[in-house]
Structure 1
Amino acid sequence: MNASGAGLLPTAIVGSLPKPSWLSETEKLWGDWKLSGAELVEGKQDALRSAVLEQERRGIHIVSDGEQTRQHFVTTFIEHLSGVDFERRETVRIRDRYDASVPTVVGAVSREKPVFVEDARFLRSLTDRPIKWALPGPMTMIDTLADRHYGSREKLAWEFATILNEEARELEAAGVDLIQFDEPAFNVFFDDVRDWGVATLERAAEGLRAETAVHICYGYGIAANTEWKATLGSEWRQYEESFPLLQRSSIDIVSLESQHSHVPMDLIELVRGKKVMLGAIDVATDEVETPEEVAHTLRRVLHFVDAEKLIPSTNCGMAPLPRRVALEKMSALSAGAAIVRDELR
């Protein structure tokens, strides 16, 4: 099974869903858990069950964990690695747009044991649909840390790429059909993307039989990101830097932001031949799209990508949204894709 087995215009969410209010602080990133010990383990599994149920009943074809068992899409993976001190924190500029307190690399990084594999096995047991798992990409990992050991962003990225490949291979063995690497940093550090960013991404995906995707977005719907986007002008052309490189890469799927963005649709031609996971749901607003609005976005992109290669999705993760809004947005995504699917038949 792979994502292709889900039929024409298979829907997916890019990453996170809001967690239940009994499990975690809500409508924020890095929300603290409200449970601990065995209760937290049980609560995470209950939340994952709920996330799968909601995706299936709302018409999502490629099911993910909704990141219900992790606090943050980057740091939860990093906290399981040796060589990183979470007690020694520094304030760094993330994505060159906002400051955050992050852990520090103090020695050689390594992965002592699998991080998400047991959670992935549990997800696999809950659904017969294709499943997707997201991992942070090497460049985005180093941009969410303070490095006081390697002294080289590139060297640390290569170390992380090897670690990610180890994890990805075990996720594949656990039954994951699509492994997604999140690289929002690709929209910021263009020289690094060209010089070593895509190469380290390919190293992270090396040897996988599961389909692979890279997700490049303009960030969660938080103030720092929306304020940054307001400075980008009438056309957002950041993808112009990474898409030609990714078109020549071994990555199967390119995931991008579209709905309510200023990304020119014709930039998708730069990844012609690749599958496209198109963000047709805006996660930076509580307003729920209508199915027809989603369908309109999908019709426009079909001028630049074959229907067989299109995966309708959300722009980014929905963790900061009210839970009700996120669930309704999933329904709108599925309904909009169904409209276009019927038109194509």
Structure 2
Amino acid sequence: MGGDGGRGGARVSAVTSPATTAPSGGAVPGAVHTLLPTTIVGSLPKPSWLAQPEVLWSPWALEGDALIEGKRDALRIAVQEQTRRGIDIVSDGEQTRQHFVTTFIEHLSGVDFDRRETVRIRDRYDASVPTVVGEVRRERPVFVDDARFLREITDRPIKWALPGPMTMVDTLYDAHYKSREKLAWEFATILNEEARALEDAGVDVIQFDEPSFNVFFDEVKDWGVAALERAAEGLRAQTAVHICYGYGVTANNEWKASLGSQWRQYEESFPLLQRSSIDIVSLECQHSHVPMELIELVRGKKVMLGAIDVASEVVETPEEVADTLRRALAFVDADKLIPSTNCGMAPFPRAVAAEKLSALSAGAGIVRDELA
């Protein structure tokens, strides 16, 4: 579906572009010239004055105009912390949203958040979720203003995450379409609208979060990857798909404990993604049981490799990060490797998350020097 052609020109490679200067001689925002550019996959801890610390999806502590201002201040802090810790491709750290899926869905019509149903999320745990009651539509931009603000406060490449179509479907009760596939295609169209607007706002990498790809293998084959490609169709920005094993919460930890000594779920989706139009494949690696050789299945794609564990507050040493990256280089070319975190770090104390960012950057620096 969505090929390499963009809207009116060749696709931009935000993470491998050659050195470029603006007409005035200054650096062009969005260009990165570093081998092994570092980034984070999802969330960072929020300040205590914005939301309760070390709690996933905590309610906001502010309201009205104070909340708007507080979110922007938190975003500034997240950018400053990533920059001073050596992160090359900066994200918002999800400072302006509570949940990586439902915050996007809240802005769509056709979904009733007061009508709740209990569903099984990713075949792992039960949750009370909103209900699809009519045709889903994006009436207005969702994250575009925040992304434009992020673009204004940093000259580094920026990455923005959106939920993937299948994971959106799996976070709702559908009383209207009554077909996971039909609803996924509707969401894919909506996501593409938002992604194009994010690209116009200056976003260099658009990431789609699809943890459901590690669970619903038949659907991934039948329509999941195709719906993901529809969400990314026509974009000039780099596109990424993030498939992880989730935050280090009880339900996820119990599920992971049942997977045995080797986690081979990526074997189902990686061959399909290798043939897809998606540019970057993100996977969990550090302290997981994912066999490193599975990276070979996406040979030719850029690999956003999780070298920081998000299920433990123990901070990796730079050498531990470097060792993970060295092992990965047997299966991915150095110019296609993007060191990152396994997943988001919202439940961590802020100091722990900051130290993990420093370890990621330092570990990448060790390997970068070795390659040079």
Interval of TM-score (by shorter of Structure 1 and Structure 2): over 0.9
> Is 2:196 aligned against 1:184?
no
2:129 corresponds in structure 1 to 102
Inter-partner Cα distance in structure 1 for 2:89 and 2:370: 21
1:91 to 107, 110, 118: 118
Inter-partner Cα distance in structure 2 for 1:145 and 1:322: 30
1:163 corresponds in structure 2 to 190
* 1:113 match: secondary structure: coil
Residues 188-337 of structure 1: pairs in structure 2 closer than 5 A: 188-337=215-364
2:163 corresponds in structure 1 to 136
Inter-partner Cα distance in structure 2 for 1:229 and 1:321: 20
* Contact preservation (8 Å) 1:222, 1:320: no
What is the identity percentage for the equivalent residue pairs of Structure 1 and Structure 2? 82
RMSD: 0.7
- CA offsets per residue over residues 67-111 of structure 1, 9 Å max, x none? 000000000000000000011111111111111111110110000
Inter-partner Cα distance in structure 2 for 1:320 and 1:224: 15
Inter-partner Cα distance in structure 1 for 2:257 and 2:45: 25
Inter-partner Cα distance in structure 2 for 1:338 and 1:299: 12
Indicate the structure with greater helix content. 1
Deviation at residue 331 of structure 1 after TM alignment: 0.5
Inter-partner Cα distance in structure 2 for 1:304 and 1:110: 41
* Contact preservation (8 Å) 1:85, 1:103: yes
2:90 corresponds in structure 1 to 63
Name the aligned partner's letter for residue 127 of structure 2.
Answer: A
* Contact preservation (8 Å) 1:9, 1:308: yes
Deviates more, 1:26-35 or 1:326-335: 26-35
Deviation at residue 223 of structure 1 after TM alignment: 1.1
Residues 18-29 of structure 1: pairs in structure 2 closer than 5 A: 18-29=45-56
TM-score by length of 1: 0.99
* 2:74 match: secondary structure: helix
Inter-partner Cα distance in structure 2 for 1:316 and 1:145: 22
1:54 corresponds in structure 2 to 81
Name the aligned partner's letter for residue 352 of structure 2.
Answer: V
Listed as ranges, the gaps of 5+ residues in structure 2 are 1-11, 18-31
Inter-partner Cα distance in structure 2 for 1:66 and 1:4: 22
Deviation at residue 31 of structure 1 after TM alignment: 0.6
Deviation at residue 26 of structure 1 after TM alignment: 2.0
1:172 to 185, 199, 222: 199
* 2:297 match: secondary structure: helix
* 1:336 match: secondary structure: helix
2:7 corresponds in structure 1 to none
- CA offsets per residue over residues 16-68 of structure 1, 9 Å max, x none? 00100110122222210000000000000000000000000000000000000
Deviation at residue 182 of structure 1 after TM alignment: 0.2
> Is 2:165 aligned against 1:117?
no
Name the aligned partner's letter for residue 225 of structure 1.
Answer: N
- Length, aligned pairs only: 345
Inter-partner Cα distance in structure 2 for 1:54 and 1:10: 16
Listed as ranges, the gaps of 5+ residues in structure 1 are none
Deviation at residue 3 of structure 1 after TM alignment: 2.2
Inter-partner Cα distance in structure 1 for 2:239 and 2:319: 30
Name the aligned partner's letter for residue 149 of structure 1.
Answer: H
Inter-partner Cα distance in structure 1 for 2:110 and 2:348: 33
Inter-partner Cα distance in structure 2 for 1:50 and 1:240: 38
Name the aligned partner's letter for residue 131 of structure 1.
Answer: I
1:153 corresponds in structure 2 to 180
Inter-partner Cα distance in structure 1 for 2:345 and 2:112: 28
Name the aligned partner's letter for residue 253 of structure 2.
Answer: T
Inter-partner Cα distance in structure 1 for 2:72 and 2:66: 10
Deviation at residue 290 of structure 1 after TM alignment: 0.4
Name the aligned partner's letter for residue 298 of structure 1.
Answer: L
* 1:236 match: secondary structure: coil
Inter-partner Cα distance in structure 1 for 2:107 and 2:295: 36
> Is 2:26 aligned against 1:4?
no
1:81 corresponds in structure 2 to 108
Name the aligned partner's letter for residue 288 of structure 1.
Answer: V
Deviation at residue 252 of structure 1 after TM alignment: 0.2
- CA offsets per residue over residues 294-327 of structure 1, 9 Å max, x none? 0000000000000000000000011111111111
Inter-partner Cα distance in structure 2 for 1:247 and 1:311: 17
